[in-house]
Amino acid sequence: MKHKQGIRQPYAQNPVTTDHWLPGPEANTTTRRGFLSKSSLIAMSVALGTTIPFAKFMPAGLIPIALAETDSALEQAGKDGLIVLNDRPINAETPAHLLDDKITPATRLFVRNNGIPPVIDQTAIHQWKVDIEGESCVSPKAYSIDELKTKFEAQTLQLQMECGGNGRSEYYPPAKGNQWTNGAIGCPEWTGIRLADVLADCGIKDDAVYVAYESADKHLSGDPTKLPISRGVPVHKAMESESMLVWAMNGEPLPALHGYPLRLICAGWPGSVSGKWLTKILVRNQLHDGPKMTGQSYRIPCKPVAPGTAVADDDMCIIESMPVKSIVTFPKSGISHNLGESLAIRGHAWAGDQSVSELHTSIDFGATWQTAILDKPVNRLAWQHWHSSIHFPEPGYYEIWARAVDQNGSSQPMVLPGWNPRGYLNNACHRIAVKVMV
């Protein structure tokens, strides 16, 4: 099996041969420009097979995306061209150009498993129960899926789900964990009921703080007393009308890998709060303390730290809303394009709990930006589509960068956001390579 390489890995693995791509030190790559020596520029152009018209704007230390990308796909049943990052447990991401659909099909939704998915007996599905309990639950109840479907009002919403570690591969020093590039994001349509309605039916006490899940997957160690993951959200997030218990995705029963027969969706937050194969909802009177909720999991330093810093658990804060981000889904990175023809480009943008208000693209390494047309979300917490048209001034190697700005004015960073020990929340601009030819 081939593994996908991040943009920082070539340097980490072989600093000597990659050094001529890296004329300056790794730090502050976003601020210094045009520091390429003549020899590195020549070497880069040779490797790319063309000139770099906007080389004078290239941030020092930037590895051209065309050189950092590898093409390796491992077939996974029911999945169309996803890149497998780990096969036990199975974890796979979707290359950006396969995320072009407005509604992500099941075949193109990334898979993130912390444990071993349960094998579910279809014939026993009517016996599947979800227990609602916990210190702050007034009257604990167990519901079958049929009861949930008949007792509560169903709704269908398109909701984004992004893994907290999406983009991890670009951090340096590298963080342990799945080396996601850009593909741990998707936005399918989910059908189910509001978590708030179920919680209201059981009643929640005034001292309720957190709503957490437990699931039927197995710990990697095989120890049946251990859960692979059990996370949650503060009560206010659980009560949002978009927080749902869902049984269908894109009009079909949930696929086995995505949580059949029932999962939680709390969109806009790290995907890890959206528990699959749901067996239990806990209304807690304290911050939930299940596996992957404590320590350094899904947490970032409360205050920014220098790359490589060890941070004490007490100084780590739980990730809530995901940051503003975007991808270019058309064209595929690496294409050749004829000079003189404009190039139609498009993609999606999202911003955790917020909406996206602007999308800009650049073909000169972020020196200048052009505003794209950005659609409104179909509903709150759905990604937004954007499109634009690009004109290239001369032949050569270009990168198209996309940068979204959320409703609060926060923008994606051009190269990398703040480093953190577990490599979460990389919302750097997505970059694709285009070779313009005469």
Ligand X SMILES: Nc1nc2c(c(=O)[nH]1)N[C@H]1C(S)=C(S)[C@@H](COP(=O)(O)O)O[C@H]1N2
Q: Which residues bind Mo ion (CB under 5 A)?
A: 112, 163, 271-272
Cα 72 to the center of its chain, rounded Å? 20
Q: Which residues have a Cβ under 8 Å from the Cβ of 123 and sit 6 or more positions away?
A: none
Q: Does 114 bind ligand X (CB under 6 A)?
A: yes
Q: Shortest approach of ligand X to residue 159 CB, angstroms?
A: 12
Choose, by CB under 6 A, the member of 54, 110, 350, 401 that binds ligand X: 110
| Closest approach of ligand X to the CB of residue 19, in Å | 35
Are the C-beta atoms of residues 197 and 153 closer than 8 Å to each other? yes
**Backbone torsions φ then ψ of 432, nearest 5 degrees:** -125, 150
Q: Cα 21 to chain center, whole Å?
A: 28
What's 20's DSSP letter? G
- Among the listed ranges 9-17, 140-148, 236-244, 269-277, the one in contact with ligand X (CB under 6 A) is 269-277
Q: Which is nearer to ligand X, 115 or 366 (CB)?
A: 115
**Residue 229 interacting with ligand X (CB under 6 A):** yes
Binder of residue 352, out of Mo ion, ligand X, none (CB less than 5 to 8 A by kind): none
Query: Taking the complex as a whole, how short is the minimal distance between the CB of residue 162 and ligand X, in angstroms?
Result: 7
C-beta of 65 vs 229, nearer to ligand X: 229
277 binds ligand X (CB under 6 A): yes
Is residue 402 at the binding interface for ligand X, with CB under 6 A as the rule?
no
Our CB check for ligand X shows the closer of 192 and 396 to be: 192
> Tokens at residue 60, please?
């020092």
Nearer to ligand X, 48 or 125 (CB): 125
Residue 68 parent element (H or E): helix 65-68
Contact region with ligand X (CB under 6 A), list: 96-104, 272-280, 368-376, 383-391 = 272-280
Cβ proximity of 208 and 284 under 8 Å: yes
CB of 167 or CB of 228, closer to ligand X: 228
228 touches ligand X by CB under 6 A = yes
Query: Does position 280 bind ligand X by CB under 6 A?
Result: no
Which positions ≥6 away from 234 have C-beta within 8 Å?
209, 210, 211, 320
Minimum CB distance to ligand X, residue 11 (Å):
27
Q: How many residues are given for the chain?
A: 438
Q: In the range 150-169, which residues lie near ligand X by CB under 6 A?
A: 161, 163
**Count of residues binding ligand X (CB under 6 A)?**
20
- CA dihedral (83, 326, 431, 300) positive or negative: negative
Least distance between ligand X and beta carbon 424 (Å): 11
The answer to the question of residue 274 lying near ligand X (CB under 6 A) is yes
Distance CA 325, CA 347 (A): 11
Q: Does 288 bind ligand X (CB under 6 A)?
A: no
Output the six-digit token pair for 196.
């708030």
Q: Is the dihedral of CA 380, 168, 367, 410 positive or negative?
A: positive
- Report the C-alpha dihedral over residues 368, 369, 370, 374, rounded to 10 degrees: 180
Instruction: Identify what 145 binds: ligand X, Mo ion, none; CB under 5 to 8 Å per kind.
Output: none
CA distances in angstroms from 284 to 137, 272, 299, 432, listed in the order given: 8, 18, 20, 45
272 binds ligand X per the rule CB under 6 A: yes
**Contact between 175 and ligand X (CB under 6 A)?**
no
- Comparison of 272 and 420: residue with beta carbon closer to Mo ion: 272
Give the closest residue to 106 by CA, choosing from 76, 126, 82, 78.
Answer: 78
Nearer to ligand X, 199 or 262 (CB): 262
- Is residue 178 close enough to count as binding ligand X by CB under 6 A? no
DSSP letter (8 states) at residue 119: P
Eight-class DSSP state of 37: -
User: Does 187 interact with ligand X (rule: CB under 6 A)?
Assistant: no
112 vs 346, beta carbon nearer ligand X: 112
92, with CB counted inside 10 A (0-12, 13-18, 19+), is buried
Q: Are strands 189-194 and 154-158 parallel, antiparallel or unpaired?
A: antiparallel
Residue 228: which of ligand X, Mo ion, none does it interact with, CB under 5 to 8 A by kind?
Answer: ligand X
Q: Which two tokens stand for residue 291?
A: 């596996």
Q: Which is nearer to Mo ion, 91 or 355 (CB)?
A: 91
Which residues contact ligand X by CB under 6 A?
Answer: 109-115, 161, 163, 215, 217, 228-229, 258, 271-272, 274-277
